Structure 1
Amino acid sequence: MSIWLLPENLADILPAEARRIEELRRKLLDLYRSYGYELVAPPLVEYLDSLLSGTGSDLGLRTCKLIDQLSGRTLGVRADITPQISRIDAHLLNREGVTRLCYCGAVLHARPADVLSDRELLQIGAEVYGHPGVEADIEIIRMAFESVKQAGVTQARLDLNHPGVLQALFEADPALQGQEEELALLLGTKDAPGIESLCASLPDLRDDTLAALRALPFLYGGPDVLARAQQVLPSLPRIQAALADLQTLIRVLPGYDISIDLADKGSGYGYHSGVVFSIYAEGWHDALVRGGRYDGIGKVFGRERAATGFSLDLRKLSTGLPPPPLTRAIKAPWADDPALGHALQALRQEGHVVIQFGADESVRTDEFHIDRELVLGEQGWQVRELAH
């Protein structure tokens, strides 16, 4: 095997793409700061029991494990940053009232989410702690949309769901105990035959539960889905509350292209407790942004708090955008002339890109369009246009 080959689903990021990702990172962190979000930076590796506290098995399967040579305990390389931000809010900051935090960092998946996904992501996101009302959800969704808009994404679509619908069915029907993960997978893939087969193996299943499970794969589409859901789903208090939450968001977010999918379980990481959302756009095979409410995740760290937030992968976001424009640059010679050094410094302080080359060196770059050169004339070092 060649020593320069990378493991599967890992890739180098080359100059122009890396520059665009970095510029997106700066732009989005500045956006979140304008909303009052404070930047935090948790470590890449933590003790496994802390990293996976309060999450579902899917996150555990995506987390790479290793043994700490100092303590002998099992460490995890984070596959998601949200649980770490919850730990910081609950255990380190421990503030009263609302706390707004944002972050950006690398995460590693032990296995890719699908055949088209990378295992290393550059995850950026924002979280609100301490406010249980819909106002926090609205702020988070608007920031998520503004994030993709800042990147140049147009005609994005907001997809809404609420895990409370499925959780209410599990709570109301004992026959579903132990079937949560398999059912969530079948519903997420709209596998109606698989749902029928599973239900047939559960002879004690209630009739209204069976009807609901048969209906859920088809409860997707526009906002009118909520009216259909009211008719076909059991009138359980938690289902009614979930549908009311979704209806409220639709009402207070006019002008957004909104779809509903009541069979979609969201991130699959098992910590969402309220409205979840995804943002889709043409040019990407999967959701660009995922987020939602996850009240109580900080309980394992000693402080149960209302929480909602979102995250996205900057590397994935960048791959679907048009090629970045080249930056204009000035060509300059290598020389030991002090006057040249002063000229170079002045140009760079003015914001110009100046690249020095030897007389016989070829000019090859991925990021820059060299359209001017710095030459020595009668009045000193001056910039002139290059002939095309």
Structure 2
Amino acid sequence: MPISETWLLPDGVADVLPEQAQVIETLRRNSLDFLASRGYQLVYTPFIEYIESLSSLSESNQDLDLATFKVIDQLSGRLLGVRADMTPQVARIDAHVHPVDGVARYCYAGTVLHTKPQGFNTTRAPLQLGAELFGSDSIDADVEMVDLMISLIQEAGLADGIHLDLGHVGLFRSLVQKAGLNKATERQLSDLYQRKALPELADFTQDLAFGSDFYALGRFASDLDALEAHLSADVLANVEFKHAFDAVKTTQAEIQARWPNLHIGIDVVELRSYHYHTGLMYAVYAPNRAAPLAQGGRYDGIGQHFGRARPATGFSCDLYALSAGRFEAKSVVVAPKGNQADLLAAIQATRTQGLSVIQLLGQDDLSSVPYATHQLVNRNGEWTVEKI
């Protein structure tokens, strides 16, 4: 490779320069402090693991498996995976490393790596921050997690105009099971729902068992009252379907009560990560942004891969996306060279006030610190900070 190209980075990977890094790090610290105030304990997970550990989700989520870089461990000869998501790692901790009786709450922040960008104009190395709750199958746990997600977005200063989407895989899954559909038909239906292709859906469901119910599920996916009115009594009486339907209505009512000005949308056929999630799904969107600010859902039984199946719900977000477009100007004070006691005391006092102080080196002058905003000068025997 020519020397002129050695500084280039792979597609989807970028440096974070000082101005933006300061914003991101402040956001990371504040977010983790906020999660700690809600009782979520911080954990660190390794960047690389045996692929068997990371496959607790990839077995049911092919998208995650395809997103995971795989390499050979030169020490053991075994296959390793670079984490593409931290949820399976936290599930391993809950199930095997740090088993807790009752409810356990964890939070985390760290870089993950994807083989390909997971969305338009996104990085392959997101800085993922998230929270996970293990040990409760109550709808109250889902409500807590949705409320926590929205509160975190508010703490990040992005609450204006946000929109919450709610869905539940149980509606579609229970209807598929009741109709006895094969996997190929299930996949075709899922594709039609994802594309919102109502004319195609009408044709496709004509000859299916409970075809009118499958069509109603897509036609009235965003209106629970209309959906209920157009479903057959047989489907509405199904225990699994009713449980999922009630969970969406309860969550919507609970979150609306806590956030009366929040716009909440319903889409019961939003089936992203369908084979991964087991219940309620949720995502927060902001105006003029195609990708969600944060998203999550219920994924019961995740710890089974590690010998301890537990109900679980959680969400995650990319701190790079949360901080996008924001700039935080910092005051930088330049102090002259010297080791006089009064000068050193003035430098220390200025730093104690929360300001950044750089002392000049050798023959340097102010021009050697082009981003300086202030300087420390001696006026009549007293050191003062003056704007440059």
TM-score under structure 2 length normalisation: 0.88
Query: Partner amino acid for 1:279?
Result: V
- Of the structure 1 ranges 273-282 and 352-361, higher mean CA displacement relative to structure 2 is found in 352-361
Instruction: Indicate which of 168, 176, 184 corresponds to 1:170.
Output: 176
- The corresponding residue for 1:226 is 224
Write the deviation string for residues 27-47 of structure 1: whole angstroms up to 9, x where unpaired. Answer: 111111111111111111111
DSSP 3-state at the match of 2:177: helix
Query: Partner amino acid for 1:347?
Result: T
Write the deviation string for residues 237-260 of structure 1: whole angstroms up to 9, x where unpaired. Answer: 322211111111122222132100
- The corresponding residue for 1:326 is 329
Q: Answer yes or no: is 1:293 the counterpart of 2:298.
A: yes
Structure 2 portions without partners, runs of 5+ = none
- The corresponding residue for 1:119 is 124
Residues 236-315 of structure 1: pairs in structure 2 closer than 5 A:
236-253=238-255, 254=257, 255=260, 256-266=262-272, 268=273, 270-315=275-320
Write the deviation string for residues 113-170 of structure 1: whole angstroms up to 9, x where unpaired. Answer: 1232211111111111112112211111111011111111112111000011121133
Write the deviation string for residues 190-231 of structure 1: whole angstroms up to 9, x where unpaired. Answer: 24466568x48xx9x6341x334434443344xxx1112223
Write the deviation string for residues 12-67 of structure 1: whole angstroms up to 9, x where unpaired. Answer: 11111111111111111111111111111111111112101143111111111111
- The corresponding residue for 1:373 is 375
- The corresponding residue for 2:135 is 130
Q: Answer yes or no: is 1:61 the counterpart of 2:66.
A: yes
- The corresponding residue for 1:190 is 196
- How far is 1:339 from its partner? 3.8
Conserved? CA contact 1:59–1:269, under 8 Å? no
TM-score under structure 1 length normalisation: 0.88
Counterparts of 1:162 and 1:50 in 2: how far apart (Å)?
A: 27
Query: Partner amino acid for 2:85?
Result: D
Conserved? CA contact 1:123–1:313, under 8 Å? yes
Counterparts of 1:127 and 1:374 in 2: how far apart (Å)?
A: 48
- How far is 1:350 from its partner? 2.5
Instruction: Indicate which of 328, 340, 353 corresponds to 2:343.
Output: 340
Write the deviation string for residues 82-135 of structure 1: whole angstroms up to 9, x where unpaired. Answer: 111111111111111111111111111111112322111111111111121122
Q: Answer yes or no: is 1:100 the counterpart of 2:81.
A: no
- The corresponding residue for 1:211 is 212
Q: Compared with structure 1, are the counterparts of its residues 292 and 175 closer, same or farther at alpha carbon in structure 2 (3 Å cutoff)?
A: closer
Conserved? CA contact 1:58–1:269, under 8 Å? no
Counterparts of 1:130 and 1:244 in 2: how far apart (Å)?
A: 21
DSSP 3-state at the match of 1:52: helix
- The corresponding residue for 2:358 is 355
Q: Answer yes or no: is 1:29 the counterpart of 2:32.
A: yes
- How far is 1:183 from its partner? 3.9
Counterparts of 1:29 and 1:10 in 2: how far apart (Å)?
A: 24
Residues 135-150 of structure 1: pairs in structure 2 closer than 5 A:
135-150=140-155
Measured on the aligned residues, the alpha-carbon RMSD in Å equals 2.2
Structure 1 portions without partners, runs of 5+ = none
Conserved? CA contact 2:22–2:328, under 8 Å? no
Counterparts of 2:169 and 2:274 in 1: how far apart (Å)?
A: 12
- How far is 1:364 from its partner? 2.7
Counterparts of 1:274 and 1:5 in 2: how far apart (Å)?
A: 43
Residues 145-164 of structure 1: pairs in structure 2 closer than 5 A:
145-153=150-158, 154-164=160-170
DSSP 3-state at the match of 2:331: strand
Query: Partner amino acid for 1:128?
Result: L
Aligned residue pairs, count: 371
Conserved? CA contact 2:166–2:281, under 8 Å? yes
Write the deviation string for residues 246-290 of structure 1: whole angstroms up to 9, x where unpaired. Answer: 111122222132100111114x17321111100011132211111
- The corresponding residue for 2:384 is 382
- Of the structure 1 ranges 111-120 and 372-381, higher mean CA displacement relative to structure 2 is found in 372-381
Conserved? CA contact 2:302–2:309, under 8 Å? yes
Identity %: 38
Counterparts of 2:187 and 2:341 in 1: how far apart (Å)?
A: 70
Write the deviation string for residues 65-88 of structure 1: whole angstroms up to 9, x where unpaired. Answer: 111111111111111111111111
Counterparts of 1:114 and 1:384 in 2: how far apart (Å)?
A: 47
Query: Partner amino acid for 1:6?
Result: L
Residues 74-89 of structure 1: pairs in structure 2 closer than 5 A:
74-89=79-94
Counterparts of 2:50 and 2:38 in 1: how far apart (Å)?
A: 32
Query: Partner amino acid for 2:32?
Result: L
DSSP 3-state at the match of 2:308: coil
Conserved? CA contact 1:170–1:177, under 8 Å? no
